[in-house]
Structure 1
Amino acid sequence: MSEDLIVSVDGHIVEPPDLFLTRLPGHLRERAVWEEDLLIEPLGEDGRTHFRKLHTPGFEGWTNSAYPHFDGSPNTGQPDRIIADMDSEGVWAQVMHPNLSFFGLYSDDHDRSIGHARVYNDYVAETFGAYRDRIAPTAPIPLTNLDDAVAEIERAAGLGLRAILLPAVSPVPYHARELDRVWAAAQAHGLVVAFHVATGSVKVDKKASPTLRALIESVRMQSQELTDDLVVGRILSAVTKQSFVPQQIIASLVGGGVTERFPGLHFVLVEFNANWLVSFMAAMDKAWTLGVGQDRDFWVGTWDDARPDGDQPGMAQVFRLNERWPYPLRPSDYARRQIHVSFQEDPVAVACRHITGVSTLVWGVDYPHPEGTFRRSREAIDVQFAGVSPADRAAILGGTTAGLFGFKAPAAV
């Protein structure tokens, strides 16, 4: 992969199992995210014996195989081992997000969430500061208290972090004007704003969070007979549910005028795939376009016989609303200018780049997660980028992300 400058916008830092147990203030430690190492007899023919069990409200019992390095040894989040994995994959630089600490960062318990964020941001600044030419950790920012959110953005910038990470599902709508303080702080420090799939909306008094319930259902389906209902449901979930949250984020940022008021901000939506983006951009514009076939003077509504003809508030020229878009650029123009959506394997998104704009698409390995392309990125790239021009390929695979996060290409040898 030496001919490509690969910059992944989607990696995850495997945190020390006791990071929050040892670093949170004492009164918060009983609410900490922590992991238990499990060495067990193999569950299947793959022979895997090293597992990790999560302990935290809403996710108690979540257990998965330990993430492997390229050589098969367990991933412990050490920077030099991450760099070695990146080298094995041909990835020059990587934007990296939390891993299981996601489950403590965006809950309805503010003290718990901001406590986890402060510990995590300190940890990644200390641990990865010497590797900033190749690794850019994001700084998670809970939005359950905006004074604390702005203060943590300021602090994260002072720590040298280059991006903030907000929950995909926010306690405050992203078009709410009260969040202008957050956007202003990020813009003032030149920080990228990222959102990661499947984050937010954790309620600590619920035994099983929506994410854990989805995991339980996914595991249950593995042992079920493959029925028509199951197949249809899985397709509909992939088509409708998975794209709803990123579309809501973009609609809020563009429709709420955030992109107009803060033109210096760039927003990266991580691990949402991007095949839905082309139709969504078209639909945003269509909602505010008076088409050739639309009679702008056509009236429709409900008639009130008790009112005079000239006073019928239930009637309106229905298509005139299409002309009332409140901002100078079209919705799709703001998306092309400031929105970036990441994918791992999405050839449809690549094929639609001439419509969405090349800069709206950025690539990520999703290291070291099993649903990503780690240990087979060359195959994924070759399949998706066959016939793509060198300029477009370079932009999507690394150029756009490198520009956003300040990564420089390695010096020629």
Structure 2
Amino acid sequence: MAIPKKIWANSGDSHFLEPPDLFDERLPKALADRMPKSQKFDGYEIVTVDGQQFRRNMPKPGNTGETMSDIVNKRAPGANDPVLRLQDLDEEGIWAEVTFPSIGIWASSIKSRELMASGVAALNDWAKEYIMDASPRLLPTASVSLLDVDDAVAEVRRCAAMGYRAAFLPTAVPPGQKPYHYIDYWNPLWTALEETNTVLAFHIGTEPVDADKGFGQVFRGPGGAVLNYTQTTFGGQISTMQMITSGALDQHPDLRILVSEGGATWGPFLGDRMNEGYRQHGKYVRPQLSKPPKQFLYEQVYASFQHDETAVGAMQHLGWNNVMWGSDYPHLEGTYGHTQKTLHELFDDAPDDVRRRITVGAFQDLFPEVGEPPADEY
């Protein structure tokens, strides 16, 4: 079997850096001042959201004299420029990509219904004009306000009419809202997504945060950095279980879920575990489903991964065909600058049909309109 020199792939996960004046340009000042904003310093970042402040550590510049902005711009030239981005994608061997917000992800921590609804609409209008209209290869996800289900439904339908094919939801709802498995409350949203053929896109590590509880550091002390990074993956798995066990996917068989950046080997394990609980504790199970939980996962849930060497086996040997690769451009844990090295490490020993399914086919299930990437180069 000949090994390609260049493997072309679609990406189930990337991010776009919004301009710092996005909300100032599109919202009244009283609202714009409360939308998420970021200030970067040597070794840390301050994010302000609706009167709350969050501090998080960032990589420190080395001894080169470069600022943090210099490092970010050098690392990924197309992080906030669609023209340069397409050049980056061509160089890396990426054809089409799903793009999530960056600072916009913090909108899930807003507490005002009016601010949230106005803010996500402004973000979605900008992404339509700046990202979607730049190229059919760029598929931005629509942000949605979860502070009121009617607002969420209205924004999903508005964005679908604008051409959006996916809607981004955080992996947990804002405090005070009902969790996703309360199907009677959220069913209008699942219906809107299904009827508009909009993919429900969960991105890991996007749970709303509260300034009083701190940000993102569950573990401290030895191993804390790796522990905190690893535990962010669990939110996508919990959201998936909520959608399956509540009967949401049973009632909406055409609804598709994408869990981005959370790896993929968890799918078969999670399916087995849910099946065991559904079977062994059957007398306690409500609602009753039309088929085993694992079958819903295998049929309606997709997952993207970057480097996980076991993810290929989840598709090849464990039967989960909905595994797709993602670059996580332009983040540090992504593959920018070494995409081809990563793809070769993952797929040089894999059969052609497995490589094709994970790099192209699963993505095309969800977004067939992106067409075919260039052929792998031999």
Q: Deviations over 1:258-298 (max 9, x none)?
A: 111111111001111223222211111112336xxxxxxxx
Q: Does 1:173 align with 2:179?
A: yes
Contact conserved, 1:243 with 1:276, CA < 8 A, in 2?
no
Matches of 2:70 and 2:326 in 1, distance apart?
17
Larger CA deviation: 63-72 vs 350-359: 63-72
- CA positional deviation for 1:68: 5.8
Contact conserved, 2:54 with 2:214, CA < 8 A, in 1?
no
Q: Deviations over 1:30-53 (max 9, x none)?
A: 212234577x7xx7xxxxxxx976
- CA positional deviation for 1:21: 2.2
Percent identity, aligned pairs only? 26
Contact conserved, 2:15 with 2:79, CA < 8 A, in 1?
no
Larger CA deviation: 248-257 vs 27-36: 27-36
Rg larger in 1 or in 2?
Answer: 1
Gaps of 5+ in 1: 44-50, 222-229, 291-318
Matches of 2:242 and 2:326 in 1, distance apart?
24
Residue number in structure 2 paired with 1:66: 69
- CA positional deviation for 1:355: 5.5
Matches of 1:73 and 1:143 in 2, distance apart?
31
- Residue 102 of structure 2: SS of its match in structure 1? coil
Residue number in structure 1 paired with 2:7: 4
Q: Deviations over 1:290-348 (max 9, x none)?
A: 6xxxxxxxxxxxxxxxxxxxxxxxxxxxx663898711211111001100111111112
- Residue 96 of structure 2: SS of its match in structure 1? strand
Contact conserved, 2:203 with 2:261, CA < 8 A, in 1?
yes
Residue number in structure 1 paired with 2:192: 185
Residue number in structure 2 paired with 1:294: none
Q: Deviations over 1:43-65 (max 9, x none)?
A: 7xxxxxxx976443444455753
Contact conserved, 1:345 with 1:380, CA < 8 A, in 2?
yes
Matches of 1:411 and 1:386 in 2, distance apart?
18
Residue number in structure 1 paired with 2:348: 386
- CA positional deviation for 1:76: 5.5
- CA positional deviation for 1:116: 1.8
What is the TM-score with the length of structure 1 in the denominator? 0.78
Residue number in structure 2 paired with 1:369: 331
Q: Does 1:397 align with 2:345?
A: no
Change (3 A) 1:74 1:408: closer
Residue number in structure 2 paired with 1:210: 215
Contact conserved, 2:106 with 2:208, CA < 8 A, in 1?
no
Matches of 2:319 and 2:197 in 1, distance apart?
23
Q: CA RMSD in A?
A: 3.0
Alignment of 1:325-344 (within 5 A): 326-344=288-306
What is the TM-score with the length of structure 2 in the denominator? 0.84
Q: Deviations over 1:12-44 (max 9, x none)?
A: 111001111222223212212234577x7xx7x
Alignment of 1:248-397 (within 5 A): 248-289=238-279, 321=283, 326-354=288-316, 356-397=318-359
**How many residue pairs were aligned?**
358
Residue number in structure 2 paired with 1:196: 203
Matches of 2:328 and 2:274 in 1, distance apart?
29
Change (3 A) 1:338 1:132: farther
- Residue 289 of structure 1: SS of its match in structure 2? helix
Contact conserved, 1:70 with 1:85, CA < 8 A, in 2?
no
